[in-house]
Amino acid sequence: MKASQFLITTLKEAPADAEVVSHQLMTRAGMIRKLGAGIYNYMPMGLRVIQKVEAIVREEMNRAGAVEMTMPVVQPAELWQETGRFEKMGPELLRIQDRHERDYVIQPTSEEVVTDVARQELRSYKQLPKNLYQIQTKFRDERRPRFGLMRGREFIMKDAYSFDRDEAGAKASYQVMAAAYRRIFDRFGLKYRAVAADSGAIGGDLSEEFQVIAATGEDAIVYCPASDYAANMEKAEALAPAGPRPAPANPMVKTPTPGKSTCADVAEYLGVPLATTIKSLVLATDELNEAGEVVKSQVWLLLLRGDHDMNEVKVGKVPGLDKGFRFASIPEIDAHFGCKPGYLGPVGLKKPLKIVADREVAVMADWICGSNEPDFHTTGVNWGRDLPEPDLVADLRNVVEGDPSPDGKGPLAIERGIEVGHVFYLGTKYSKAMNATFLDTDGKPKHFEMGCYGIGITRLPAAAIEQNHDERGIVWPDAIAPFTVVVCPVGADRSEAVKAAADELYAGLLAAGVDVIIDDRGERPGAMFADWELIGVPHRVTIGDRGLKEGMVEYQHRRDAAATKVPATEALAFVKGRLSA
């Protein structure tokens, strides 16, 4: 490609609304242009990256035996009504009407359509397993789109859906995809982790997120440096502490803590470690009648160590809380504790409730909690002696750095990531909702066992940039760079030798199948180098008159601090040697 024939539209300044570095750099490098909130033009420079991402994904999906098709962007509402998602999904599902006032949605994902395809086309067990995928435009009407391609409204997703005879088959299909995803992410040339994720109502352990590691990532990733254990924060288990609960050592004493309504304030005020305090969280569950009216409510007290955070996903799995819960109302709290929040505790309740202790709390002795009286806390509280044992003990909290890894291989570490892929075992959730069946070996209809597998095609470049950039711009891995090599002639307008040498190297690289661009725009060297460092092309060869007189050109990798002189006659071979396989 010749730069003069391409469209290079770099900017000195990032737009005011670009909060994250990938959004800033993709805009400045001329890769995207905002057309509306969360809606972007993929400019030529950005589209090249997206197309390289797509090509890698397509190749590996095909290699894994998945079959590509394309489902419509505009989908009839009827299918979405079959699963109830037309009503249940929030406003992020963009609902539209055509000229005949029939309802449609713009696809945010395609479980309904692909399940409809399966129930029509996959009629016999002989056609299974089958994995259908598409790389297609999606739309989610986010309330607050931001961060450029990181959280856009219109985006491109690769979504795949596997169909199997039975659970064993579905799990095998899942593993095929999980392995394909590892190959895909390896090929992108990014640091990533496949982390176990919560599988929600489906249950089981077959849910993994593919997280690109970046300090700016939204998600906390838990991993064990000494093993391959990795999970997201929702999923990572906090083990039950080893050893028995210590015996009580102190008497229970009610202590004034005027105005100290948080564990941190109380610990500081009393001069004790935060880890000796316990926080009380009051939840409630409702029993409804057929009309959807609340007929009975139950209040729950959850106890966590003062320095731990509640994990909502884990709480949602506690028996009794697993059908949905809410935070208790002030009247409910008052009825059970006779006190306002800030000084609550499990001792001396006005009215019984269900107490769930975090695993850590269950083995603590001589702890501190609220006295159910404003401005007072109680120290030296002990299970069994001062209050009954908890009704339930469960893992209720987020893990923290240093917690033991669930696989017993050492302490856990935490880093941040950006989710760009997800593999998920769906079971029969959609096939049952849509009565999608095939005829099994016994001639009887059976619901498909399904899995779904997504990759955020347009999110991936943004994540790659969050991980790979410096103060001058983007640093692309070779595999997804818009161009692999840029040839920069300096003063080609003044020197025939420079122009000839640059054209020759460019032609040589092109002939070798290298994705190369030559900057023939006639820009001054400073502006030219700044552009290519901003755009992040990994390999640059600079050809100037002074160097050529000594028979040399300059090679510089985008990560190199300085250029390397290379004999002009060896430049082609040198650059080819530097490209990743």
56 lies in the site for a second copy, by CB under 8 A: no
Pattern 211-240, binding to a second copy, x per CB under 8 A?
A: ------------------------------
Q: Tell me the window of 37-45, 349-357, 472-480, 484-492 that interacts with a second copy (CB under 8 A).
A: 37-45
33 lies in the site for a second copy, by CB under 8 A: yes
527 lies in the site for a second copy, by CB under 8 A: no
Q: Which of 19, 63, 87, 96 binds a second copy (CB under 8 A)?
A: 96
Q: Render the burial of 403-442: b for 16+ CB within 10 Å, e for the rest.
A: bbbbeeeeebbbbebbbbbbbbbbbbbbbebbebbbeeee
Q: Is the distance from CB of 290 to CB of 300 less than 8 angstroms?
A: no
Q: Which of 47, 226, 274, 335 binds a second copy (CB under 8 A)?
A: 47
Residue 427 and residue 409: Cα distance in Å, rounded? 31
**379-386 contacts: CB < 8 A, separation 24 or more?**
379/250, 379/252, 379/253, 379/255, 379/270, 379/272, 380/248, 380/249, 380/250, 380/251, 380/252, 380/253, 381/252, 381/278, 381/345, 381/347, 382/248, 382/252, 383/245, 385/248, 385/252, 386/252, 386/347
- Residue 171 to residues 129, 204, 401, 423, Cα–Cα distance (Å): 11, 10, 32, 11
Q: Least Å distance between CB 70 and a second copy?
A: 4
Please tell me the count of residues contacting a second copy according to CB under 8 A. 51
Strand order of the β-sheet with 485-489 is 516-518, 485-489, 539-543, 552-557, 564-567
Q: Which of 40, 174, 300, 506 binds a second copy (CB under 8 A)?
A: 40
Q: Which of residues 257 and 458 has its CB atom nearest to a second copy in the complex? A: 458
The span from the first CA to the last CA of the chain, in angstroms, equals: 21
Strand order of the β-sheet with 367-370 is 253-256, 376-381, 367-370
Whether the link from the prior residue into 129 is cis, omega within 30° of 0, is yes
116 lies in the site for a second copy, by CB under 8 A: yes
Ranges assigned E (strand) in 205-277: 207-213, 219-223, 230-232, 253-256
Q: Which of residues 62 and 329 has its CB atom nearest to a second copy in the complex? A: 62
Ranges assigned E (strand) in 250-293: 253-256, 278-288
> CB-based contacts of 314: which residues, under 8 Å, 6+ apart?
234, 394, 395, 396, 397
Q: Which two tokens stand for residue 10?
A: 């770099």
- Residue 380 to residues 216, 368, 374, 475, Cα–Cα distance (Å): 42, 6, 19, 56
Q: Which of 75, 109, 382, 405 binds a second copy (CB under 8 A)?
A: 75
Q: Rounded to 5 degrees, what are φ and ψ at 534?
A: -65, -45
CA angle 241, 245, 249 (to 5 degrees): 135
Q: Which of residues 18 and 221 has its CB atom nearest to a second copy in the complex? A: 18
Q: Which of residues 58 and 183 has its CB atom nearest to a second copy in the complex? A: 58
36 lies in the site for a second copy, by CB under 8 A: yes
41 lies in the site for a second copy, by CB under 8 A: yes
Q: Least Å distance between CB 101 and a second copy?
A: 11
Residue 377 and residue 262: Cα distance in Å, rounded? 11
53 lies in the site for a second copy, by CB under 8 A: no
- Strand 294-305 relative to strand 354-358: parallel, antiparallel, unpaired? parallel
Q: Which of 5, 258, 271, 291 binds a second copy (CB under 8 A)?
A: 5
Q: Which of residues 17 and 407 has its CB atom nearest to a second copy in the complex? A: 17
Site for a second copy in 332-361 (CB under 8 A): none
Q: Which of 7, 201, 511, 561 binds a second copy (CB under 8 A)?
A: 7
Q: Which of residues 117 and 436 has its CB atom nearest to a second copy in the complex? A: 117
Residues constituting the chain:
581
Q: Tell me the window of 44-52, 487-495, 553-561, 569-577 that interacts with a second copy (CB under 8 A).
A: 44-52
28 lies in the site for a second copy, by CB under 8 A: no
44 lies in the site for a second copy, by CB under 8 A: yes
Give the SS3 label for residue 381: strand
Q: Which of residues 350 and 524 has its CB atom nearest to a second copy in the complex? A: 524
Q: Is the distance from CB of 426 to CB of 202 less than 8 angstroms?
A: yes
Q: Tell me the window of 41-49, 252-260, 546-554, 555-563 that interacts with a second copy (CB under 8 A).
A: 41-49
Q: Which of residues 32 and 355 has its CB atom nearest to a second copy in the complex? A: 32
Q: Is the distance from CB of 279 to CB of 297 less than 8 angstroms?
A: no
> CB-based contacts of 142: which residues, under 8 Å, 6+ apart?
38, 92, 151, 152, 153
- Residue 400 to residues 237, 313, 407, Cα–Cα distance (Å): 10, 16, 16
Q: Least Å distance between CB 256 and a second copy?
A: 51
Q: Least Å distance between CB 71 and a second copy?
A: 6
Site for a second copy in 135-164 (CB under 8 A): 136-137, 139, 141, 143, 153-154
Q: Least Å distance between CB 183 and a second copy?
A: 18
Q: Which of residues 141 and 545 has its CB atom nearest to a second copy in the complex? A: 141
Q: Least Å distance between CB 458 and a second copy?
A: 10
Q: Tell me the window of 70-78, 313-321, 486-494, 498-506 that interacts with a second copy (CB under 8 A).
A: 70-78
Q: Which of 26, 29, 43, 418 binds a second copy (CB under 8 A)?
A: 43
Q: Which of 15, 19, 74, 330 binds a second copy (CB under 8 A)?
A: 74
Q: Rounded to 5 degrees, what are φ and ψ at 274?
A: -60, -30
65 lies in the site for a second copy, by CB under 8 A: yes
113 lies in the site for a second copy, by CB under 8 A: yes
57 closest CA partner among 140, 151, 156, 169: 156
Q: Least Å distance between CB 46 and a second copy?
A: 8
Q: Tell me the window of 16-24, 30-38, 386-394, 529-537 that interacts with a second copy (CB under 8 A).
A: 30-38
Q: Least Å distance between CB 438 and a second copy?
A: 13
Q: Which of 14, 73, 335, 507 binds a second copy (CB under 8 A)?
A: 73
Applying CB under 8 A, the residues found at the interface with a second copy are 5-7, 9, 30, 33, 35-36, 39-44, 47, 50, 65, 67-76, 79, 91-92, 94, 96, 98-99, 104, 106, 113, 116-117, 120-121, 127, 130, 132, 136-137, 139, 141, 143, 153-154
